């Protein structure tokens, strides 16, 4: 286990310097700008808190150890640790027991019983629909092939296109199958889960191509080749859709298409304690700050359910915010940097942005 993955009360200044450097390299992969002094300072504070003393007192302990002749100081009473310290895992994800069971049985139907049972994952934006399917794929050792449906703007993106190529000085027309068809047929790749992400961002004309793929025939006609492209027997198909408060820019789901998804997995935001753990595991912030962020989100979600706000503060928003908090930014500033400006400022003191700003400042205080 890397020292960057865990903060514990017995760490020395040298330990923290090494851990901060490793943690900095880890966070670089997320695209979050980070300063090493900020990381060191935050880790020193967290270790001091675990020992129930101030940062200055914690530093004095090691200064005294470096000077044996110095007189002993009176021991300080230890305060209760601030909370649970967890291992950092940027890919940590929570799924309800019900959905874990449903996902495992969905796999069994296809793999052992050879039943075509496409899965439709629905829920509010940013609650972990895509990550849930990714987790299922990982647990069962399958590759996940994700198609961003919002990027499908023409029908040739589903099946392929003609292109001119030069071979030995001669120019000829060649048909290039789409990556989509190759994933479905497991052509040049292993069969896995093909995921249509945010399928309700497709207009009806582009959804029609999927109907024969999703039904019992498991094939699609490729007119330029004059052939049917078959879905591999071991390929599994899933789709996600944003439903509930604040999903805009989407299309109604055709009944014929909905009927081709025999398994429905409904997702929602994690329970408060689980969402706190997600923030701690993925970003390394302490439980107190994580709980403040989750409290803010849950109050805002309640207002969204009452139609006082047009969208939720999603788990995805919270994770982005927590990265900045972990880098040393105050919660109020981190909220302003990540999710606050996504709410409308129209209406001044009565605007959504003002409502959420007041909520954040009231819950976060000086944290």
Residue 238 and residue 193 in contact, taking contact as beta carbons nearer than 8 Å: yes
Residue 225 and residue 123 in contact, taking contact as beta carbons nearer than 8 Å: no
Q: What is the pLDDT of residue 38?
A: 72
Residue 98: partners with Cβ closer than 8 Å, 6 or more residues away: none
Q: What is the pLDDT of residue 111?
A: 83
Whole-prediction pTM = 0.69
Residue 4 and residue 88 in contact, taking contact as beta carbons nearer than 8 Å: yes
Per-residue pLDDT tens digits for 207-222 = 888 888 888 778 888 8
Q: What is the pLDDT of residue 39?
A: 73
Q: What is the pLDDT of residue 335?
A: 95
Q: How far apart are CA 113 and CA 51, in angstroms?
A: 56
Residue 193 and residue 142 in contact, taking contact as beta carbons nearer than 8 Å: yes
Q: How far apart are CA 168 and CA 209, in angstroms?
A: 36
Q: What is the pLDDT of residue 62?
A: 66
Q: What is the pLDDT of residue 11?
A: 78
Per-residue pLDDT tens digits for 154-213 = 888 888 887 767 777 777 778 788 899 999 999 989 999 999 999 988 888 888 888 888
Residue 291 and residue 297 in contact, taking contact as beta carbons nearer than 8 Å: no
Ranges of residues in the chain whose predicted pLDDT is under 70: 1-7, 24, 26-35, 52, 58, 62-86, 164, 244-254
Q: What is the pLDDT of residue 69?
A: 42
């Amino acid at each position: 286990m890397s020292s960057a993955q865990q903060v514990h009360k017995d760490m020395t200044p040298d330990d923290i310097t090494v851990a901060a450097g490793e943690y900095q390299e880890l966070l670089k992969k997320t695209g979050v700008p980070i300063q090493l002094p900020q990381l060191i300072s935050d880790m020193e504070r967290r270790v001091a808190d675990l020992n129930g003393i101030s940062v200055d007192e914690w530093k004095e302990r090691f200064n005294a150890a470096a000077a044996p002749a110095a007189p002993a100081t009176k021991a300080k009473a230890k305060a209760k640790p601030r909370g649970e310290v967890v291992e950092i895992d940027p890919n940590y994800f929570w799924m309800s027991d019900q959905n874990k069971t449903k996902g495992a049985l969905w796999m069994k139907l296809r793999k052992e019983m050879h039943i075509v049972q496409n899965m439709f994952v629905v829920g509010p934006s940013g609650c972990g629909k895509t990550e849930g399917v990714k987790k299922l794929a990982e647990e069962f050792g399958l590759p996940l092939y994700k198609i961003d449906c919002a990027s499908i703007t023409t029908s040739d993106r589903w099946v392929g296109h003609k292109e001119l190529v030069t071979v030995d000085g001669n120019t000829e027309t060649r048909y290039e199958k789409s990556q989509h068809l190759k994933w479905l047929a497991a052509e040049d790749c292993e069969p896995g889960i093909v995921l249509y992400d945010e399928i309700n961002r497709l207009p009806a004309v582009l959804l029609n191509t999927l109907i024969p793929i999703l039904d019992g025939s498991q094939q699609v006609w490729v007119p330029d080749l004059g052939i049917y492209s078959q879905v591999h027997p071991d390929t599994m198909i899933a789709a996600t859709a944003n439903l509930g408060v604040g999903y805009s820019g989407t299309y109604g789901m055709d009944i014929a298409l909905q009927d081709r998804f025999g398994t429905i997995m409904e997702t929602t935001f994690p329970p408060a304690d689980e969402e706190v753990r997600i923030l701690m595991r993925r970003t390394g912030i302490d439980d107190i700050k994580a709980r403040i962020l989750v409290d803010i989100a849950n109050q805002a979600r309640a207002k969204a359910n009452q139609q006082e706000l047009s969208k939720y503060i999603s788990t995805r928003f919270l994770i982005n915010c927590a990265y900045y908090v972990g880098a040393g930014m105050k919660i109020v500033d981190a909220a302003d940097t990540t999710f606050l400006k996504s709410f409308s400022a129209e209406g001044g003191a009565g605007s959504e942005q003002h409502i959420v700003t007041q909520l954040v400042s009231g819950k976060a205080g000086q944290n």
